[in-house]
Amino acid sequence: MAAHGAPRFLLTFDFDETIVDENSGDSIVRTVPGQQLQESLRATDREGFYNEYMQRVFKYLSKQGVRSRDLRAIYEAMPLLPGMGDLLQFVAKQGTYFEVMLISDANTFGMESTQRATGHHSLFLRILSNSSGSDAQVLMALWPFHTHSCVRCPANMCNHKVLSDYLRERAHDGVHFECLFHVGDGANDFCPMGLLAGGDVAFPRRSYPMHRLIPEAQKAEPSSFCASVVPWETDVRLHLQQPRLCSKRPGTSPKSPNNGTESHDVFKQNQRNPSPSFLWCFRTTKEL
């Protein structure tokens, strides 16, 4: 259980096509004449090496006369996913109940620019992504977040390792979360799901890679896949319903996996910890 005054729930978000309704790597191309890259440059984009590809893109943008202020303007103008602003405002009002963080294979400059422009930067305790900064040769330099041995994730960043290291760090600080909530869309967002326990919830964007990978994992290793799954589409809403009691992560018996075709109560009664919590439910516009 979390110490008195410590956050009870950890809420993690991806950035591209989760917080914002577009891919920031594609959006910055709007800064060049014709708003497209050379075919020879696009052809160098290899799966698992997106960070290296983006370094080449920034170098190309620099040669085209693009400046950091031009990039910042693009990031600041990126639209939040419909309903995401309301969601983040709601979470912010809950005070110390939640600890919120971003885990994304994008870059810190872009995400921080967007969050400051939308007024949500202070909500995120940590933004874990590839470091970025100025360089004499290119518009913006990117540095890999870390090295790892995961075959599922890009060479520069494994989201499973990022979250695992973060949970270990917070445990060292005396913070033990009762529930984890993980919101994302991509294949690398699927990777941390091995860390989610029976009282935790995964929110994959419907029909995106993370959502498609979940039933495959449930079929291959049903006993090791314990988290509840609540898919969402383009309109994400967070509802405060009747107060419920959240089941603690430690010692929680695994929930039966589901395919996310219905709305779900993601909290269960916990007689050992009778303090009020929230019933979370992510639903699509049609379900509302």
Is 175 found in the same domain as 61? Answer: no
Is 212 found in the same domain as 185? Answer: yes
Question: Which residue type does 219 have?
Answer: K
pTM here is 0.80
Torsion angle defined by CA atoms of residues 177, 217, 258 and 15, in that order, rounded to the nearest 10 degrees? 50
Is the pLDDT at 12 greater than 90? The verdict is yes
Is 251 found in the same domain as 112? Answer: yes
CA–CA separation, 22 and 154 (whole Å)? 20
Is 179 found in the same domain as 118? Answer: yes
Is the pLDDT at 9 greater than 60? The verdict is yes
% residues pLDDT > 90 (the chain)? 42
Is 257 found in the same domain as 170? Answer: yes
| Contacts for 269 with CB less than 8 Å, ≥ 6 apart | 244, 245, 247
Is 120 found in the same domain as 38? Answer: no
Tokens linked to 276: 């009020």
Is 86 among the annotated ligand-binding positions? no
H-state helical runs in the chain:
24-27, 39-42, 50-63, 68-77, 84-93, 108-118, 159-172, 187-190, 209-220
Tokens linked to 118: 């939308």
Tokens linked to 128: 């874990």
DSSP assignment letter at 81? P
Q: What is the pLDDT of residue 27?
A: 94
Of residues 251 and 168, more confidence is placed in: 168
Is 160 found in the same domain as 44? Answer: no
Helix H or strand E segment including 11: strand 9-13
Counting the structural domains of the chain, the total is 2
Catalytic residue among 16, 105, 189, 200: 16
Residue 220 CB burial class (10 angstroms; 0-12, 13-18, ≥19): exposed
Q: What is the pLDDT of residue 276?
A: 32
Of residues 233 and 282, more confidence is placed in: 233
Q: Is residue 185 part of a domain?
A: yes
Angle between helices 68-77 and 108-118 (to 10 degrees): 50
Give the range of the structural domain holding residue 39, as residue numbers without chain letter: 25-76
Q: Is residue 2 part of a domain?
A: no
Instruction: Identify whether the C-beta of residue 102 lies closer than 8 Å to the C-beta of residue 19.
Output: yes
Whichever domain contains 246, its CATH number is 3.40.50.1000
Is 165 found in the same domain as 52? Answer: no
Is 174 found in the same domain as 235? Answer: yes
Q: Is residue 237 part of a domain?
A: yes
CA–CA separation, 274 and 245 (whole Å)? 6
Q: Which residues of 270-287 are buried (b: 16+ CB within 10 A; e: fewer)?
A: beeeeeebbbbbbbbeee
**Mean per-residue pLDDT of the chain:** 78
Return the minimum-mean-pLDDT range out of 85-94, 113-122, 203-212, 272-281.
272-281
Q: Is residue 1 part of a domain?
A: no
CA–CA separation, 125 and 133 (whole Å)? 21
Query: Which whole number is the average pLDDT over 160-181?
Result: 94
105 classed as catalytic: no
Last residue of a domain, one of 76, 93, 118: 76
18 Rama sector, left if φ>0, alpha if ψ -120 to 50, beta otherwise: alpha
Is 178 found in the same domain as 60? Answer: no
Q: Is residue 284 part of a domain?
A: no
Q: Is residue 288 part of a domain?
A: no
CA–CA separation, 40 and 26 (whole Å)? 16
16 classed as catalytic: yes
Question: Which residue type does 203 have?
Answer: F
Catalytic residue among 14, 105, 189, 200: 14
Question: Which residue type does 287 have?
Answer: E
Is 173 among the annotated ligand-binding positions? no
Is 246 found in the same domain as 169? Answer: yes
Is the pLDDT at 165 greater than 60? The verdict is yes
Instruction: Identify whether the C-beta of residue 237 lies closer than 8 Å to the C-beta of residue 282.
Output: yes
Is 196 found in the same domain as 88? Answer: yes
Is 135 among the annotated ligand-binding positions? no
Tokens linked to 124: 């995120």
Q: Is residue 50 part of a domain?
A: yes
Q: Is residue 89 part of a domain?
A: yes
